[in-house]
Structure 1
Amino acid sequence: MAQKPKLYYFNGRGKMESVRWLLGAAGVEFDEEFLETKEQYNKLIEVGSLLFQQVPMVEMDGMKIVQTRAILNYIAAKYNLYGKDMKDRLFIDMYVEGTTDLMLAVIPLPFQQGDAKAKQIDLIKNRAVNRYFPVYEKALQGQDFLVGKQLSIADVQLLEAILMVEEVHNDVLSHFPGLQAFKTRTSEIPTIKKFLQPGSKRKPMPDEKYVATVNKILFS
């Protein structure tokens, strides 16, 4: 029996959350080792587990895989979530890079305060409403999935991005009926529905403890 993938990251969302989402959508069980001390992090570097001295890192299939996009692409290809041919993968990659850009605007929020945080919140809504969501709304016209006729990493990550932005602006889909329908539809896919249930390995919005742990390990 193959070993379950093992994820090395902090006990929170960050760049690892999309990996958790994708494994969840693929119906793959996984283990996690949470970094709680600088000593843990340094040990991973010392033994050569982190190619570029950075997390996230996923241990699976006898490899220690780093760099978020490499991790996601490997999982997507392994579990048939990466389209049927090179053209599909091209469009999947373009859509994924768009949702990644949007989510990278949300991820720093817990680390920001005051005016900087307020400006970032406004930026997130502006980009979602005027740059990114119109693209996905148009792409989904007349079809259930962004690319082809089956679920791909592009759909999984779009749902993740929608839910992340809604936590900041709960009315952000008010002018996007196609995305509203997409959200409802994809949330009912059995593996995704399971991942969205309480008690799953999906992480909540980062709290002060998470921020303090990351700052202590990476910046102290």
Structure 2
Amino acid sequence: MSGKPKLHYFNGRGRMEPIRWLLAAAGVEFEESYLEKKEDLTKLQKDGSLLFQQVPMVEIDGMKLVQTRAIANYIATKIDMYVEGMFDLNELLMMYVIQPADKKEEYFANMMDKAENRYFPAFEKVLKDHGKDFLVGNQLSRADVQLLEVILMAEEYNPSILAKFPLLQSFKARISNIPTIKKFLQPGSQRKPRTTEEDVARAMKIFRS
């Protein structure tokens, strides 16, 4: 990749965080240009930077790429089956913060149930059947990076969520200690904190039509 990729998004996790993870795991330094107000988004839309008039957008190798999955596909090898499952769980966890107050308890229970009984058992089985340190082949791939991300997100809601999954516990420890990823997990890195309702309100001011 020539030069540092430049990430255009608001200052929070959202749909840009998987891209930050992939770049960090690959050891690729990147810059960020934050959208602070509605006008920042409008400027990108008007200057033709956004093919579908929306972010995330990443300037990389002389291109302006949009669509989270298209960007991720460019950065890393495409391993669709596992990654799509991770995107589903990621989306489920990410959407919790925007649920109405009277729906949060029900949503939380459903979210944890799916994590513990649908998604994590599947990835525990993949690791058992594969018998290697990684999900695919015998080297780090996009699937490993995004599984760690979603594990850490789930643990923010339930620190003991991996209690029944010893292989995922070992996987988490192993991938977390890869030097480039370990660096990204340290305080002061470009990894964003858990999204708050204040973050959502700020983002809505930017993205609301």
Which residue matches 1:108?
95
* Counterpart amino acid of residue 82 in structure 2: Y
Structure-to-structure mapping, 1:61-210, within 5 angstroms: 61-76=61-76, 82=77, 89=78, 92-141=79-128, 142-210=131-199
Identity among equivalent pairs (%): 62
Q: Which runs of 5+ in 1 are unaligned?
A: 77-81, 83-88
Q: CA deviation at 1:113?
A: 3.4
Q: CA deviation at 1:181?
A: 0.5
Provide the C-alpha distance between the structure 1 equivalents of 2:115 and 2:206, rounded to a whole number of angstroms.
32
Q: TM-score, normalised by structure 2?
A: 0.95
Which residue matches 2:5?
5
**CA offsets 1:71-124 (integer angstroms, 9 cap, x no match):** 001011xxxxx2xxxxxx4xx210000010001001122222322222221121
The runs of at least 4 consecutive aligned structure 1 residues that moved more than 4 Å come to none
Which residue matches 1:54?
54
Q: Which runs of 5+ in 2 are unaligned?
A: none
Structure-to-structure mapping, 1:20-35, within 5 angstroms: 20-35=20-35
Count of aligned positions = 207
Provide the C-alpha distance between the structure 1 equivalents of 2:136 and 2:150, rounded to a whole number of angstroms.
17
Q: CA deviation at 1:186?
A: 0.5
**Structural RMSD (CA):** 1.3
Q: CA deviation at 1:170?
A: 1.4
Q: TM-score, normalised by structure 1?
A: 0.91
